[in-house]
Amino acid sequence: MSIRIGILGYGNLGKGVECAVMQNPDMELAAVFTRRAPESVQTLTEGVKVYSIEDAKNMTEQIDVMILCGGSATDLPEQTPVFGKLFNTVNSFDTHAKIPEHFAAVDAAAKGGKKVSIISVGWDPGMFSLNRLYANAILTDGVDYTFWGKGVSQGHSDAIRRIEGVKDGKQYTIPKEEALRAVRAGENPALTTREKHLRECFVVAEEGADQAKIEEAIKSMPNYFDEYDTIVHFISEEELKANHSGIPHGGFVIRSGKTGLHGENQHLIEYSLKLDSNPEFTASVLVAYARAAYRLAQEGACGCKTVFDIAPAYLSAKSPEELRSHLL
């Protein structure tokens, strides 16, 4: 029997989950839930049942795992405890500083409903976190580095678009080559914000807008750009659409550490991602952890979990025997 997946929230991430479920023959998409009028939602594939989010609570028997595809700012903190009581859930909550609080709220709800909820699934938090944990447990005497990019930051792109005179814009976060080189050489550099990443902006200005003023407004924007070397390009709307409509991302998690009687041997563990589509990759991670949530629930587990709490074998559709024979 297939694992019946529900998608709650149908934006880029929800569409990514729809595609990812199709790549996993042990799963089926049971329903999409939306805050919009269901009849107004056009899904990527035909035959998908779309319901109002209000109907979800009456469909606990039809959904094995609900994948929550809302945003971390307001959607997930509200929705996860509510739906985590009714369903096994997976979310991609990514406000690092608020994870302990979110964990506590979801844990109480999931235990109350005897369900499994896995939070903060994706790549950072998610796969990057896993690699930080494994590398720290192995190389206890070492230094951690995380670099992001090259990729589109939605938050920074939004910030650019709020500036007066800006019609549209896209921001790329780019790790600095020299910083990566020094880390990989085992130099354990202490890197400032400016030394780690570069910010490159592609901006479409309104007709007649003062480009010099826009550039200055971007470069001096506190929290977003002022601590970085920022490059601003003004381009046409056509060029933005043609060359910058993707949502690529990626990054690097590196730990450099020492072993030996006198720390004489140096080691480098590096994990990197290069993603054409940030939401589709995140969706693929969510779907693998949905499998884990389903299996854990079948075993009688309940409560809130993170990627740290899940044995890797739970993610794979393959049997333990197959995994040992082919991937170990």
Name the residues that contact a second copy, by CB under 8 A. Answer: 16, 19-20, 23-24, 44-45, 96, 99-100, 103, 120, 125, 127, 129-134, 136-141, 184, 259-261, 264-277, 280-281, 283-285, 288, 291, 306-313, 315-317, 320-321, 323-325, 327-328
Cis geometry, peptide bond prior to residue 175 (ω within 30 degrees of 0): no
Nearer to a second copy, 132 or 197 (CB): 132
Minimum Å gap between C-beta 200 and a second copy is 21
Residue type, 81: P
Give CA–CA dist 36/289, Å, rounded.
27
Query: What spatial distance separates the first Cα and last Cα of the chain, rounded to whole Å?
Result: 27
Q: Which residue, 35 or 267, has its beta carbon nearer to a second copy?
A: 267
Half-sphere exposure of 257 (CA within 13 A, CB side): 18
Smallest distance, a second copy to C-beta of residue 270, A: 5
| Type and span of the H or E element at 140 | none
Least CB distance from residue 306 to a second copy, whole Å? 6
Q: Which is nearer to a second copy, 140 or 208 (CB)?
A: 140
Closer to a second copy by Cβ: residue 61 or 141: 141
Task: Give the span between the Cα atoms of 5 and 1, in whole angstroms.
Answer: 12
Cα–Cα distance for residue pair 259/269, rounded to 1 Å: 13
Q: Are 14 and 36 in contact (CB under 8 A)?
A: no
**Total length of the chain:** 328
Q: How far from 280 is each of 15, 35, 166, 263, 265, CA to CA, in Å?
A: 8, 21, 28, 42, 39
In the complex, least distance from residue 21 CB atom to a second copy, rounded to whole angstroms: 11
Q: How far is the CB of 318 from a second copy (least distance, A)?
A: 8
User: Measured from the CB atom, is 34 or 120 closer to a second copy?
Assistant: 120
- Find the shortest distance in angstroms from Cβ 20 to a second copy: 7
Nearer to a second copy, 214 or 292 (CB): 292
